[in-house]
Amino acid sequence: MTTLRDPRVASALDRLFARADEDDERLQGSWTADFATSTPQEQADAAAEVVMPISAAGGRMLYALVRAIRPARVVEFGTSFGISALHLGAAVRDNGSGHVVTTELSASKAASARETFAEAGLDDVITVLVGDARETLADDEPVDFVLLDGWKDLCLPVLRLLEPRLAPGTLVVADDIDMPSMKPYLDHVRDPRNGYECVTFPVEDGMEISCRT
């Protein structure tokens, strides 16, 4: 049995996906009304109660990729309530090595995610950093796998911050690529001169898998 099937992890995922479905019906995008003129922190505060999950299929794909690649350090931009990090952490657990570092701008979401990881028995393999990813990820540690699922206009700046630490063969996965604000990011990774080979995974709003060459 994989860790994804552990009752604690499965229960946490079921709860969070159910909450996300409730968000879709209750909010209907109203919380994004003023995003065009908001700062990242203001956006995070406005979305503090919104799950904004990766899809179930996308989560399983992340699990499979991490199992196959066996990265030592997984970095996620955009924790939210922790759905994608649960998949990443489960994969790291089943690999028997590695660690997930995830960063979240909303302090309340980060606190909730930490509680969820503890309840799921994955808090020892997941570290949550609170703050702007352009600051919290500004270290010299190597990165072996990247998930970009935070504010879309920050995906490219975060990737550029991490690029000096990406060895050839490192995978970078970006979620929600159908959103218009992802165009600068996609233009960057799809240009071979920038050192990536890419493939699109057609699930919900789309995911881009880019291999550092």
The answer to whether residues 120 and 14 touch, using CB atoms and an 8 Å cutoff, is no
pLDDT of 27 = 58
DSSP result, 149-192: -S-GGGHHHHHHHHGGGEEEEEEEEEE-TTSGGGHHHHHHHTSG
| pTM score | 0.89
Proportion of the chain above pLDDT 70, given as a percent: 87
Q: Is the pLDDT of residue 61 over 70?
A: yes
Mean per-residue pLDDT, 110-119: 96
Distances (CA, A) of 91 to 54, 59, 133, 182: 16, 11, 23, 27
Fold of 3-212: Rossmann fold (3.40.50)
Lowest mean pLDDT among 117-126, 142-151, 166-175, 201-210: 201-210
